[in-house]
Chain A
Amino acid sequence: VTRLDVRPLQPIRIKTKHHRAPTRHVDLGLVVSVIALAIFGAVMQYSATRQRLESQGVDPAFYLKRQLVFIVIGIGAMAAAAFVDYRRLHDHAALLYGAAILGLLAVLSPLGSTRNGAQAWFDLGPFQLQPSEFAKLAVIVGLAAFCHEHKGDLDAWRLGLAIGISVVVLGLLYIQPDLGTAMILTVVTVLVLVMAGARLRHLVVLTVLSVASLVVAYQSGVLADYQVDRLTSFADQSADISGEGFHVEQSKIAIGAGELDGRGLFNGLQTSLSYVPEQHTDFVFTVVAEEFGFIGAAGLLGVLGFVVFRMWRAAQTAKETFGSLLCVGVMAMFVFQIFQNVGMTMGIVPITGIPLPFLSHGGSSTIMAFAAVGLVVNVHARRFT
Chain B
Amino acid sequence: MEASRTRTVFVGAIVVFLFAALLSRLWFLQVVEGPELSQEARAQGVRVVFTDAPRGRILDRNGHVLVDNRIARAVTVDRDIYRDLTGTERNELMARLSEVLGVRKSRLERRMNSDQYDRLRPVPVADDVSEADAIRISEHLEDFPGVEIDLVPVRTYPYGETAAHVLGYAAEISDDELAARASAGYHQGDLIGKTGVEAAYEVDLRGERGEVPLLVDADGRVIGQVGEEVPSSAGSDVYLTLDIDIQRTAEAQLAEQMELAHSTCVDRDACPGPLYNAPVGCVVVLDAHTGDVVAMASNPTYDPAVFVDGISGEELEALNNEENHYPLFNYCTQGEYAPGSVWKPITALAGLRAGVINLGDTIPDPTGCFVYGNNDDRYCNYGRQGYGRANLYQALVKSVNVFFYQVGAWLWAETAPDVDEMIQQVAREFGFDQPTGIELSERDGRVPDQAWLTEAHELYPDAFPNDTWLGGYTVHLAIGQSELLVTPLQLARAYAGIATGDTLPVPHLGGEITAPGDPTDVRREIQPEPGHVQIDPAQHDLIMSALRGVVANSGSGDGFTGTAFTVFDGQFPLAQYPVAGKTGTAQRTGHQSTSLFAGVLPADGTEYVVVSVVEEGGTGGTTAAPIVRDVMRVMIGEDPPPPDPVEAAEAAEGATGPGAIDVGEGTGTAPADTTTTTVPVATTVADTPSGRRIPSRRRDGGCDAGAAPPQPRPTGRPRHARYPRRARGGSP
List A residues at the B interface (Cβ < 8 Å).
51-52, 55, 151-152, 191, 194-197, 250, 252-260, 269-270, 272-275, 289-290, 293-294, 297-298, 301, 305, 308, 312, 316, 321, 324, 328, 331-332, 335-336, 338-339, 342-343, 346, 348
Contact B21 A339 (CB under 8 A): yes
**Contact code string B11-27 (vs A, CB < 8 Å = 1, else 0):** 11011001101110111
Contact B38 A298 (CB under 8 A): no
Determine the main DSSP class of A at the interface with B: helix
Q: A269 with B34: in contact, given A274-B219, A328-B11, A339-B21 (CB under 8 Å)?
A: no
CB distance from A380 to the nearest CB of B (A): 15
Instruction: Using A196-B3, A273-B216 as known contacts, say yes or no to A254 and B41 having CB atoms under 8 A apart.
Output: yes
A294 touches B31 (CB 8 A): yes
Task: Report A28 CB to chain B, min CB distance, Å.
Answer: 23
Whole-angstrom distance between the alpha carbons of A252 and B36 in the complex?
11
A309 to chain B: closest residue by CB:
B15
- Could you say which residues of chain A place their CB within 8 Å of the CB of B591? none
| Residue pair A312, B30 in contact (C-beta under 8 Å) | no
Give every chain A residue within 8 A of B15 (Cβ-Cβ): 308, 312, 331, 335
Quick one: given A252-B37, A258-B34, are A339 and B27 in contact (CB under 8 Å)?
A: no
In the bound complex, do residue B35 and residue A259 qualify as a contact, i.e. CB atoms below 8 Å apart? yes
Does B217 touch A at the CB level, under 8 Å? yes
Determine if B29 is an interface residue (Cβ-Cβ < 8 Å).
yes
Q: In the complex the two chains form, is A253's CB within 8 Å of B37's CB?
A: yes
Q: Determine if A260 and B21 form an interchain contact, defined as CB atoms under 8 angstroms apart.
A: no
Of all chain B residues, which has the CB nearest A51? B223
Is B452 in the interface zone, CB < 8 Å from A? no
Q: 29 A-B pairs, CB-CB below 8 angstroms?
A: A194-B3, A194-B10, A195-B11, A253-B40, A255-B29, A255-B37, A257-B38, A257-B41, A257-B42, A259-B30, A270-B41, A272-B217, A273-B45, A273-B215, A273-B217, A275-B44, A289-B29, A289-B30, A294-B30, A301-B22, A308-B15, A331-B15, A332-B11, A335-B14, A339-B19, A343-B21, A343-B25, A346-B25, A346-B26
* Closest-CB distance, A202 to chain B (whole angstroms): 13
Closest A residue to B35 using CB positions: A259
**Pairwise interchain contact A324-B1, C-beta atoms closer than 8 A:** yes
Closest 8 CB pairs of A and B: A256-B37, A259-B34, A257-B41, A294-B30, A273-B217, A257-B38, A339-B18, A275-B218
Contact of B30 among A191, A258, A305, A331 (CB under 8 A): A258
Number of interface residues of B (CB under 8 A): 40
Hey, which chain A residues are within 8 Å of B268, CB to CB?
Answer: none
A252 to B37: give the CA distance in the assembly, Å: 8
- B110 at interface, CB cutoff 8 A: no
A49 to B339, CA, bound (A): 80
Decide if B2 is an interface residue (CB 8 Å cutoff): yes
A195 contacts B34, CB within 8 Å? Answer: no
Q: Mark B41-74, 1 if CB is under 8 A from A, else 0.
A: 1101100000000000000000000000000000
The answer on a CB contact under 8 Å between B31 and A260 is yes
Distance (whole angstroms) from the CB of B293 to the closest CB of chain A: 54
User: Could you list 7 further interchain pairs (A-B, Cβ under 8 angstroms) beyond the known A289-B30, A342-B26?
Assistant: A51-B223, A197-B4, A250-B218, A256-B30, A269-B41, A274-B219, A321-B2
Whether A269 and B42, one on each chain, are in contact in the complex, defined by CB atoms closer than 8 angstroms, is: yes
Residues from chain A with a CB closer than 8 A to the CB of B18 are: 335-336, 338-339
Q: Which of B3, B36, B40 has the most CB of A within 10 A?
A: B3
Instruction: Check B83 for interface membership: any CB of A closer than 8 A.
Output: no
Cβ distance A87 to chain B, nearest Cβ, rounded Å? 17
A51-B217, A259-B31, A298-B23 known; A191+B37 contact, CB < 8 A: no
Cβ–Cβ < 8 Å partners of B119 in chain A: none
Pairwise interchain contact B2-A256, C-beta atoms closer than 8 A: no
| Residues on the B chain within 8 Å of A335, using CB | 14-15, 18
A305 to B215, CA, bound (A): 37
Query: What separation, in Å, do the CA atoms of A331 and B8 have in the docked complex?
Result: 13
Contacts of B41 in A (CB 8 A): 253-254, 256-257, 269-270, 275, 290
Closest to B222 in A: A55
Whole-angstrom distance between the Cβ of A369 and the nearest chain B Cβ: 17
B33 CB-CB contact with A under 8 Å: yes
A272 contacts B223, C-beta separation under 8 Å? yes
Q: Is B140 an interface residue (CB 8 A)?
A: no
* Cross-interface CB contact of A293 among B2, B30, B35, cutoff 8 Å: B30
Docked CA distance A51–B29 (Å): 25
Residues of the B chain whose Cβ atoms lie less than 8 Å from the Cβ of A256: 29-30, 33-34, 36-38, 40-41
Most A-side CB within 10 Å, residue of B14, B27, B37, B217: B37
- Contact (Cβ within 8 A) A257 B12: no
**B177 CB to closest chain A CB, in angstroms?**
37
Please give the distance in Å from B529's CB to the nearest CB on chain A: 59
What residues of chain A lie closer than 8 Å to B22, measured between beta carbons? 301, 338-339, 342-343, 346
Q: B44 contacts which chain A residues (CB < 8 A)?
A: 253, 275
Chain B residues with CB under 8 Å of A194's CB are 3, 7, 10-11
Taken together as a complex, chains A and B put the C-alpha atoms of A336 and B21 apart, in Å, by 12
Among B38, B44, B221, which residue has the most Cβ atoms of chain A within 10 A? B38
Closest chain B residue to A268, Cβ basis: B41
Chain A residue contacts of B3, Cβ below 8 A? 194-197, 324
Interchain CA distance A250-B219 in the complex, whole Å = 13
Given A252-B29, A274-B219, is A197 in contact with B2 using a C-beta cutoff of 8 Å? Answer: yes
Residues of B within 8 A of A254 (CB): 41
Task: Identify the interface centre among B8, B15, B18, B30: most chain A CB within 10 Å of its CB.
Answer: B30
Q: A51–B45 Cα gap in the complex (Å)?
A: 14
CB distance from B454 to the nearest CB of A (A): 73
The chain A residue sitting closest to B4, CB to CB, is A197
When A191-B11, A259-B30, A269-B42 are in contact, do A348 and B217 touch as well, CB less than 8 Å? no
Is the CB–CB distance between B36 and A152 below 8 Å? no
Closest B residue, CB atoms, query A308? B15
Are B26 and A298 in touch, CB under 8 angstroms?
yes
Q: Chain B contacts of A270 at CB under 8 A?
A: 41, 45
Distance in Å: Cβ of A327 to nearest Cβ of chain B: 12
Shortest Cβ distance from residue B636 to the other chain A in the assembled complex, whole angstroms: 65
| B residues less than 8 Å from A257 (CB atoms) | 34, 37-38, 40-42
Interface centre among A152, A257, A258, by most chain B C-beta atoms within 10 angstroms, is: A257
- What chain B residues lie within 8 Å of A195 (beta carbons)? 3, 7-8, 11
- Of the residues B2, B19, B27, B217, contact of A52 by C-beta under 8 Å: B217
Chain A neighbourhood of B217, CB < 8 A? 51-52, 55, 272-275
Measured between beta carbons, the chain B residues less than 8 angstroms from A290 are 41
Closest to B15 in A: A335
Chain A residue contacts of B33, Cβ below 8 A: 256
- CB pair B27 A294 closer than 8 Å: yes
- Do residues B29 and A260 form an inter-chain contact, with CB atoms below 8 A? no
Whether B221 pairs with A55 at a CB distance below 8 angstroms is yes
* Bound: A294/B25 CA distance, A: 11
* Known contacts A256-B38, A257-B38, A269-B41, A348 near B223 by CB under 8 Å: no
Measured CA separation A196–B33 after assembly (Å): 43
Enumerate chain A residues within 8 angstroms of B4, measured Cβ to Cβ. 197
Report whether B1 and A316 are in contact in the complex, using a CB–CB cutoff of 8 Å: yes
- A318 CB to nearest chain B CB (Å): 8
Contact present for A274 and B218 (CB under 8 Å): yes
Docked Cα-Cα span, A257 to B11, in Å, equals: 34
When distances are taken between beta carbons in the complex, the residues of chain B under 8 Å from A250 are 218
A127 to chain B, nearest CB (A): 25
A217 to chain B, nearest CB (A): 24
Give the CA-CA distance A257 to B30 in the complex, in Å. Answer: 7
Q: How far is the CA of A220 from the CA of B636 in the complex (A)?
A: 99
Residues of B within 8 A of A308 (CB): 15, 19
Q: A52-B217, A253-B41, A257-B37 are in contact. Are A301 and B223 (CB under 8 A)?
A: no
Q: How far is the CB of B598 from chain A (nearest CB, A)?
A: 69
Which residue of B is nearest A339, CB measured? B18
**Chain B residues closer than 8 Å to A51, beta-carbon distance:** 217, 223
Q: Please report the C-alpha to C-alpha distance between residue A265 and residue B22 in the assembled complex, in whole angstroms.
A: 22
**How far is the CB of B114 from the nearest CB of chain A, in Å?**
28
Give Cα A52 to B23, complex, Å: 30
A92 smallest CB distance to B (angstroms): 23
